[in-house]
Amino acid sequence: MNKKVSAIVIAKNAQELIQDCLESLSWANEIILVDNGSTDKTNEIASKYGARIVKVGKGDFSYWRNIGKKNAQGNWLFYVDTDERVTPQLQKEILKIITSLEYNAYAVPRKNIVFGRQMKHCGFSPDYVKRLFRRNTFKKWTGKLHEEPNYLADGEIVIGGKGKIGHLKNELIHLKHSGLSEMVEKTNEWSEIEAKLMFDAHHPPMNIFRFFTAGFREFWLRFVRQLAFLDGTEGVIYGIYQVYSRLISYAKLWEMQKTKK
């Protein structure tokens, strides 16, 4: 039985990250690079690693991931981001696990590195991401902000990933953030999407009370429930930043609501 693996990577202007990512995927039978508008050397580097480059226009991660599936030829689909690295141990586990017929989908644990430090709190552990799928039972990705897979399990379609799924043991290395400038840039992009989703869902008008409670809830989550401070200075900075990021999303929602009036 054919057990070929198609590795699918979504990229845009990732020349600083793409080489190490693709090197860690050199064992895959094919690499599909879905490029959504790179203007740097991302595609040039990817070509050197034999990646098949599929260029796409505007969209969201669900759309781009689905394009990757459409162009893949392997029996198994393995989704990896440019800031993630596959360890030799994870590679061996994947190649072994796909010979079984136990599950159609697998979640992979991640080791998250933020500011050069492995984070074990602030919501980072355990951190399982659904990334490995049997191609002929995988349907599509859905969701604009936090995309989720839809796949067959026990004869029924699992929507949003809440269903029967296997869990791998070896970790995927995730170089989540290297600096605050990168974080601010991503927050500006994602907060726009999050605010629009809340706006389209007819979120109640933002006011002082709602801003206060939103900030308090995020602070309580990061520092009381998830114990961000146990990750040292890096954890405290990250926890504070998450409060800031949440408030930016609500501020953009407030701006949209004000403009509508």
pLDDT tens column, 113-131: 999 899 999 888 889 999 9
User: Cβ neighbours of residue 87 under 8 Å, at least 6 residues apart?
Assistant: 24, 170, 171, 172, 173
pLDDT tens column, 224-256: 999 999 999 999 999 999 999 999 999 999 999
Higher-pLDDT residue of 146 and 39 is: 39
Kindly report the CATH number that applies to the domain delimited by 5-177.
3.90.550.10
Write down the domain spans for the chain.
Answer: 5-177, 180-260
What is the Cα–Cα distance from 80 to 5, expressed in whole angstroms?
A: 12
Cβ contact 162:151 at 8 Å = no
